[in-house]
Structure 1
Amino acid sequence: MNNLSVIKYFFEKKVIHYQVKRFEDNRGFFSETFNKKTFKELGIKEDFVQDNFSFSLKKNTIRGLHFQKPPMEQSKIVFVVKGSILDVIVDLRKNSKTYGKYIHIVLSDKNFQQVYIPSGFAHGFCTIEDDTSVIYKTSNFYSPENEETILWSDKDLSIDWKIEGKEAILSNKDRSANTFNNFSSPF
């Protein structure tokens, strides 16, 4: 696995935070952001079927906490093309000892790190800079009827989004999402 190196495993080695290798020269750099063979060596066997591009104009934009329930559950690979985010992952697996716990990781165009998130976890992020672009691969197609959102500011989860100075910028859907206590995990 010479094109990436694992930084840390989370949630019983289910979530993988890793560094992608960059090959730099006088023109700039080249990087292989996804390689199915390398991921298979890490134990990741899903087929990724859709790429999504998210652009956020302003710092303090929060997207999430999103997931899809079975039979359309999704694993994700997340990386930042421009800017930086605080990436947040919440364990939704009922029988897990880390159920309801979260982690956050800073991903940026400068650190060139990525995160693999399997199904069974909610995902969201907060932009740290204006004009931030994020790409994420998914292992299943978008399915509005299977999409769920947990309230980003849920008191039971107590996520520290590290919002600086002003209010978060949110969609109406994310602002009015279910609380963690009113949610029944399908995982």
Structure 2
Amino acid sequence: MQVQQFPLTILAVNHSGSIQYISQAVCHSENIHLVQVDSNCNNIYFSGQERDDFFDQVKTPTSIVIRYEKYLQHLHFTIYIPERPLRIELSDTKLSRINGWFIRKRINANGEQKRRSFTDDFDNEDNNNDGDGGDEDHDDDDADDFKCTSVYQQSFIYVYTKFYRTTQSDIYFS
């Protein structure tokens, strides 16, 4: 899972109305199962390890506690949860091989594959044309083998769901 993080900037407004950037604040999450925060308050993040079974027990929005010197502030969050099961649809449910279309894959000496399309060949021919009329190939293709694989149709994947949030009195759908 990829960590999703969002920057957090803490500002203070003093009695005269001037705004000051706070860099020495300390933060923690009241519920690490829902949202997490760096201890130095730089980022709020979701690690992908949040437990959706915990949402059923939560009846209020979660919050992050921010401490700076003698001050304490709660930053409240409402988390929206996808309803299960997700509805997944494909724009085309039967994907067939496209006759006559192939992708050329380069297999180097280590056995690693590198995709290469036919347009790469045309680009190389244009760039390698040094005017002498020769068909010299300046690539280091000698050490590589090539394999052609079929090209298949592609399809869009659509995922539909309702999102809900828990509050003190009820569950709201959006």
Give the TM-score range, shorter chain.
under 0.3
Give the structure with the higher percent helix: 2
TM-score (norm 2): 0.21
Q: Which has the higher contact order (CA 8 A, sep 6+)?
A: 1
TM-score (norm 1): 0.20
Rg comparison, structure with higher value: 2
